[in-house]
Amino acid sequence: DYIKSGFENFKHIIDLSRFDFAGFKGVFVFLGLGALLTGVIQSSTATMAIIVAALLAGQISLENSLAATLGTSVGGVVTAVLASLSTNIEGKKLAFANCIFNFGIAFLIVLIFPYFIHFLNFLSIVLNIEDIALKVALFHTLFNLIGVVLFSFFTPQIVLFLNKIVKAPKDKNKDKPLYLDSSLVKFSDTAI
């Protein structure tokens, strides 16, 4: 209620209803908005709070909020890539794997979006979920769970691909001694 009332205070400043398109146009617009917002603020949780607040305030439809939720997964890649810039080669592989997973599952869900919404509605009835905020949470859980199950079958291929694509930089000092220093010559005991 607090988030909803807080968002309603800003309705005149932030009017998301003007982007509320139906069909695949709405899916792509809100997927992009969710990705952009998540990439900028680097927090999918904060973006999810904004999405749910906009949904509860009636500024966007459930379908568009679900597309924006999918966008948070895509936008979260920015944080992983930025974090990987200062990591070792394994960290870079992990960030690239995160990109493959998030873009792959987003692409798949967009392809089957109308059917996925029907499945979500069916599952909501079975689980007796009427709250639209809980439907958004269920959607987020489902697409991540489906992604994990699908990608688990391709783990060896993804590992091979990552090992082929992401390579360690060549070490220029490979042939130089690691622990020998010219200052050690001054002290005969340490030079041994």
DSSP classification of residue 168: P
- The larger pLDDT score, comparing residue 93 to residue 177, is at 93
pLDDT digits (tens, 9 = 90+) for 63-93: 999 999 999 999 988 888 888 888 888 888 9
Q: Give the pLDDT confidence of 17-64 residue by residue, as tens digits.
A: 666 677 788 888 889 989 999 989 888 888 898 888 888 888 888 999
Q: What is the pLDDT of residue 9?
A: 59
Q: What is the pLDDT of residue 16?
A: 62
Provide the strand spans (E) within the chain: none
Q: What is the pLDDT of residues 118-166, one digit of tens each?
A: 999 999 999 999 999 999 999 999 999 999 999 999 999 999 999 999 8
Whether the CB-CB separation of 56 and 132 falls below 8 Å is answered with yes
The one-letter code for the residue type at 112 is I
Determine which of 88-92, 134-138, 182-186, 188-192 has the lowest per-residue pLDDT on average: 188-192
- Cβ–Cβ contacts within 10 Å for residue 73, how many? 24
Q: How many CB atoms lie within 10 A of CB 61?
A: 17
**Host H or E run for residue 86:** none
Q: Count other Cβ atoms within 10 Å, centred on residue 12.
A: 7
CB 84 within 8 A of CB 94: yes
Q: What per-residue confidence (pLDDT) applies to 155?
A: 92
